[in-house]
A and B are shown apart, each in its own frame.
Chain A
Amino acid sequence: MFKYLIPLALFLVLVVFLAVGLTRDPHEVPSPLINKAAPTFRLPQLKDPSKTFSADDMRGKVWILNVWASWCVSCRDEHPLLIEYARTGVVPIYGLNWKDKPQDAIGWLEDLGDPYVLSAADLDGRIAIDYGVYGAPETYLIDQSGTIRFKQIGPLTPDVWSGKILPMVQELNRQGTAR
């Protein structure tokens, strides 16, 4: 009798593996950059190319770098959330405008609102390669020491924001003031 249960048991194991596999998103590739130093860069600002923005300017602050582009459809979905989160003022959000035409990008921000403190223009996508960007939008949480603490691939969701990013921001700020 037991002998006939073995194939059934194997089959159930297979079903469990496949079921778990189905719930995982193959587009979410674990980033090797988590807990590593955020790649440094100096790029012209989108709205005022005579000024630059560098990741080094943000030393000592907890901040968010959001990779976006006007040609990116999911960025449009994410946009209202970013506006809402920027309004709370919990953590400054900076934009990395990825392979975009500046006039398109500025137009996009004028139409939909600008959640970013400022956006840096990565016209040829070189800095995005340094950050391992492969699909906008992507969002990085960077701490006071310039270390990447969290990366969201794809649009932010309220769950990710309040469940992961906010607790980490609070924890980092607490550690920062205690130091």
Chain B
Amino acid sequence: MIRSLLVLLLLGIVTPFAIAREAQPTGDDPAVEQRLHKLSQELRCLVCQNETLADSRADLAEDLRREIREQIKAGKSDKEIIEFLTARYGQFILYRPRVTPTTYLLWFGPFVLLLGGLFLLFNYIKQRRDLVSEKPLSADERRRAEELLASDSAKETT
């Protein structure tokens, strides 16, 4: 028991290092690689679509990483590089779509739905409360109740 726990513990310590080694940047300049990694995590690999450029092993992703690496070395800013890529591949390459009129629904739709839901919930609760709460009888109702009671007691006496 203790031994298997120890093995597990050891595995827990060792595996993160094994993973970390695999993800280590391969280029020569660590600062460039770090920027490249950060940038390419924001970018979509167009071949595999649900992978970032940083994670993808597709040929095109490698070419694009090379392109980005060269542009970083040439002193381009992140914004310029993203501009370069969107001019060629469109906004689809961005994992975080820009806020433009065409993406308003995408960005704000969930909040609209949330507000709509809150509105419906509020209305529903209010309706329930009105149903449950005791309301004083109107004059009409009181008279009817008294009539009923009177006829009832009249019946009892007979």
Contact = CB atoms under 8 A, between A and B. Distances in A.
Interface of A: 26-27, 29-33, 99, 124-126, 128-135
B63 A132 contact: no
B90 A129 contact: no
Contacts of B90: 29-32, 132
B47 interface: yes
Contacts of A128: 63
Interface stretch (B2-10, B22-30, B81-89, B146-154): B81-89
Given A29-B46, A135-B46, A124 B63 contact: yes
B63 A130 contact: no
Interface in B52-75: 59-60, 63-64, 67
B86 A26 contact: no
A100 to B, nearest CB: 11
B92 interface: yes
Nearest to A27: B49
B89 A125 contact: no
Contacts of A129: 63-64, 67, 88
A142 to B, nearest CB: 16
A132 B88 CA distance: 5
A129 B64 CA distance: 8
A31 B49 CA distance: 15
B49 A26 contact: yes
A134 B67 contact: no
A147 to B, nearest CB: 15
Most chain-B Cβ atoms within 10 A of its Cβ — which of A26, A29, A124?
Answer: A29
A130 B88 CA distance: 6
Contacts of B49: 26-27
Contact of A134 (B46, B86, B87, B91): B46
